[in-house]
Amino acid sequence: MNDNTLRTSGEFALELDGVRRTFTQAGEKLDVLRGCSLTVAVGETVALIGPSGSGKSTLLHTAGLLERPDSGQVRVAGRDAGTLDDTGRTALRRQAIGFVYQFHHLLPEFSARENVMLPQMIAGVAAPEAARRADDLLALVDLSRRADHRPARLSGGEQQRVAIARALANRPRILIADEPTGNLDPHTAEHVFAVLRELVRTQSLGLLMATHNHDLAQSMDRVCELRDGAIHSLRA
């Protein structure tokens, strides 16, 4: 599997078809995902809303190949993850999926540039090339002047923009974001989301974002609600 295969495999960045996920608690089965189906096209932003405990994180983890579904199909950049072993799933996740979380999870001992370099170097990119791409990505999120700063010297919004740049480091096809603006004030949250939306438009990505912020959700291309284990389209 190479990058060219990933980037020419179809119009959908992510496809979920009939995904089911069941957990056992205190001897009882809990059906969290009950046949969820969802697509995210390249260039599309999709909001995922739902009350706490509805299974949004489980759905994102399954879509991001961090968990296997009990049944159903997950396709990322046109590849059926169900046909892959753990090594293949890791490779697909590394190449085709970028993650942005509520907490930035930047490594505090490294600069912004180095935090964006690390995923590339783990994927085998040489340090000079990784540094060049890191600088390009930091420029995209308007942080060139902060490239040498460690996270402690960055504001919350700046830290989250570095996290977005890091998520783009290996040229993913789909960004999966779990409450990426949840710890930010409204003005900063709006700015960070504007950055995400512009990157989706210009970098040939899809975005699936779980959020409790209904104003941000309404500004996205589609809004879906996870309720009673199923996905319901609220606006297409």
Question: What CATH number is given to the structural domain containing 213?
Answer: 3.40.50.300
Rounded Cα gap, residues 37 and 16, in angstroms: 5
Phi-psi region of 10 (alpha: psi -120 to 50; beta: other; left: phi over 0): left
Which letter does DSSP use for residue 70 in this model? S
- How far the first Cα of the chain sits from its last, in Å, is 33
Domain count, the chain: 1
pTM over 0.85: yes
Ordered mean pLDDT values, 10 residues apiece, the chain (236 residues): 38 93 84 91 93 88 94 93 92 92 88 96 94 94 93 92 92 91 81 85 90 88 91 75
Q: What is the pLDDT of residue 24?
A: 83
Yes or no: say if 220 and 209 are a contact pair by the CB < 8 Å rule.
yes
Give the single-character DSSP code of 144: G
pLDDT at 21: 92
Identify the three-state secondary structure at position 222. Answer: strand
Q: In whole angstroms, what is the distance from residue 158 CA to residue 156 CA? A: 5
The reported pLDDT for the residue numbered 9 is: 40
Strands (E), the chain: 12-25, 28-41, 45-49, 71-76, 79-80, 97-100, 174-178, 206-210, 222-227, 230-235
- Determine whether 121 is exposed, middle or buried from the number of CB atoms within 10 Å of its CB (0-12, 13-18, 19+): middle
Cβ burial 102-118 (10 Å sphere, 16+ → b, else e): bebebeeeebbbbbbbb
Per-residue model confidence (pLDDT) at position 64: 94
* Per-residue model confidence (pLDDT) at position 37: 93
Domain span at residue 17 reads 3-235
Q: How many helices (DSSP H) and strands (DSSP E) are in the chain?
A: 8, 10
